[in-house]
Chain A
């Protein structure tokens, strides 16, 4: 249901993604892991054309876009199938939590204001922020802002929600509340792609794990396989280092 074929992206001469092929099923939660600079965020951002791929094909639901000649209309169609949760939340700062969630519904999906409001309140309730609907982003903690970001993405009812390192900018204390929200929506069978550094979370919440390095997919598979018995040496190295990181003894 999400199919990526031969996706390549380079900045000038520097190749960031080389010929990526990826296929994901509906209702599946995919975690993309990999060291910094491996191209995982770029891959995610190519899926909704925040980065323009140089070549390849992206198919989400019934929309198929050839990246090379993609025009405004194609990009718009693709973006209507996706929603994104950003590392730094990127809430609209001049709008309240509720207005942030409503914005896309009113402007893009052309819902009636009352309907958009009702749906947005439902979404804020889902992320546990019903009582904060009139707060501006500057009045919310990082964790709360990110939950509004998640509500904003979910409200659009997209085919897939793209999470770009959703907890990397948070205080360690706040990571838990955001992961909990993502976990609960994963249970609802919403298709998600999560770029993350939270290994335990990825293992726990995903049905499919993709390990990337140096602009290419090194290995992919179900979490128990990839974490339990990785086939590639590079994957083993990475996982070893990442798990070591959490086991310092002082």
Chain B
């Protein structure tokens, strides 16, 4: 497909693609924020064993973990407006970007809720009892004792989710959103140098993934100062 491979196009494409990096990062940031809110809301019924809601949570998580994100994108982009028509809400003017963020938010919310659940369960119950015995309220015990430790525990999982989310956003071009991958399509079509475009694109994704990985590793080291045995396996 296209013309002969020419490496110089890569130098040309990278800055052009980088111009759309902000949209990609915007989708990642918004959907992860949304995902954290949803993830917390979904995790709570299962952590506190609230009868009906915990079943709803489980179904929610199963659905978003068990179906491809591309299908979820289509379902929400095409299906949700139809559904909303039923209650006379017209969303045809809402930009596709909003649907993309919503989908990725719902999707990462499912994964984040599982990470939260695992992390909170990892903090032993005894410390909560100690907090109560000292006179702390349930809120204070959660906020000051459980949350900081759970956050540290969940950081590696969260780091994976953010990087996964970054790569998944490349699918949003299917709804016509002009982020980096969307731009690569037009660049490829215009120049017929597809391989160079995809090479440039993967270099950018790789660089950001690596940067995020380093950032999270650093944050983890800071948050787990109290566990000198973190990294024991690495050093052996």
Which residues of the other chain, A, contact B227 by a CB distance below 8 angstroms? Answer: 93, 136, 138
Which residues of the other chain, B, contact A88 by a CB distance below 8 angstroms? Answer: 126
B130–A86 touching, CB < 8 Å: yes
Which residues of the other chain, B, contact A95 by a CB distance below 8 angstroms? Answer: 226
Please choose the segment from A1-9, A31-39, A100-108, A188-196 that sits at the chain B interface, where 4 or more of its residues have CB less than 8 A away.
A100-108
A138–B133 touching, CB < 8 Å: no
Cα separation A107 to B139 with both chains bound (whole Å): 11
Which residues of the other chain, B, contact A72 by a CB distance below 8 angstroms? Answer: 137
- Evaluate whether A108 and B136 lie within 8 angstroms (CB atoms) in the complex, with A90-B127, A91-B130 already known: yes
A197 within 8 A of B: no
Number of interface residues of B (CB under 8 A): 23
- Evaluate whether A139 and B228 lie within 8 angstroms (CB atoms) in the complex, with A88-B126, A90-B126 already known: yes
Which residues of the other chain, B, contact A137 by a CB distance below 8 angstroms? Answer: 226
A144 within 8 A of B: no
Q: Mark A54-73, 1 if CB is under 8 A from B, else 0.
A: 00000000000000000010
Please choose the segment from A13-21, A76-84, A117-125, A224-232 that sits at the chain B interface, where 4 or more of its residues have CB less than 8 A away.
A76-84
Please choose the segment from B3-11, B24-32, B110-118, B143-151 that sits at the chain A interface, where 4 or more of its residues have CB less than 8 A away.
B143-151
A152 within 8 A of B: yes
State which of A90, A91, A94, A104 has its C-beta within 8 Å of the C-beta of B135: A104
Interface residue SS majority, chain B = helix
- Evaluate whether A83 and B127 lie within 8 angstroms (CB atoms) in the complex, with A95-B226, A138-B228, A139-B228 already known: no
Cα separation A137 to B127 with both chains bound (whole Å): 12
Which residues of the other chain, A, contact B225 by a CB distance below 8 angstroms? Answer: 136
- Evaluate whether A138 and B226 lie within 8 angstroms (CB atoms) in the complex, with A86-B126, A92-B145, A94-B148 already known: yes
- Evaluate whether A107 and B229 lie within 8 angstroms (CB atoms) in the complex, with A84-B130, A86-B129, A90-B127 already known: no
B134–A156 touching, CB < 8 Å: yes
Query: Shortest CB–CB separation between residue B163 and chain A, in angstroms?
Result: 26
B135–A92 touching, CB < 8 Å: no
Cα separation A80 to B126 with both chains bound (whole Å): 18
Q: Which residue of A lies closest to B151 (CB)?
A: A94
Query: Shortest CB–CB separation between residue A38 and chain B, in angstroms?
Result: 21
Which residues of the other chain, B, contact A138 by a CB distance below 8 angstroms? Answer: 226-229
A80–B149 touching, CB < 8 Å: no
Q: Mark A139-160, 1 if CB is under 8 A from B, else 0.
A: 1000000000000100010000
B149–A90 touching, CB < 8 Å: no
A103–B134 touching, CB < 8 Å: yes
Which residues of the other chain, A, contact B127 by a CB distance below 8 angstroms? Answer: 90-93
A50 within 8 A of B: yes
Which residues of the other chain, A, contact B178 by a CB distance below 8 angstroms? Answer: none
Q: Which residue of A lies closest to B126 (CB)?
A: A90
B157 within 8 A of A: no
Question: Which residues of B in the span 134-193 have a Cβ within 8 Å of any Cβ on A?
Answer: 134-137, 140, 144-145, 148-149, 152
State which of B132, B140, B144 has its C-beta within 8 Å of the C-beta of A79: B132
Q: Which residue of A lies closest to B137 (CB)?
A: A76
Which residues of the other chain, A, contact B229 by a CB distance below 8 angstroms? Answer: 138
**Max count, chain A CB within 10 A of own CB: residue among B127, B130, B137, B229:** B130
Q: Which residue of A lies closest to B138 (CB)?
A: A72
A83–B134 touching, CB < 8 Å: yes
A206 within 8 A of B: no
Q: 9 closest pairs, A vs B, by CB? A: A104-B134, A90-B126, A108-B135, A90-B130, A84-B133, A136-B226, A79-B135, A94-B226, A80-B135
B interface vs A, CB < 8 Å?
124, 126-127, 129-137, 140, 144-145, 148-149, 152, 225-229
A-B contact pairs, 11 of them (CB 8 A): A49-B132, A76-B135, A76-B137, A79-B134, A92-B127, A92-B145, A93-B227, A94-B145, A107-B134, A138-B226, A138-B228
Besides A108-B136, A152-B134, 7 other A-B contacts (C-beta < 8 A): A76-B135, A76-B137, A79-B132, A79-B134, A138-B226, A138-B228, A162-B133
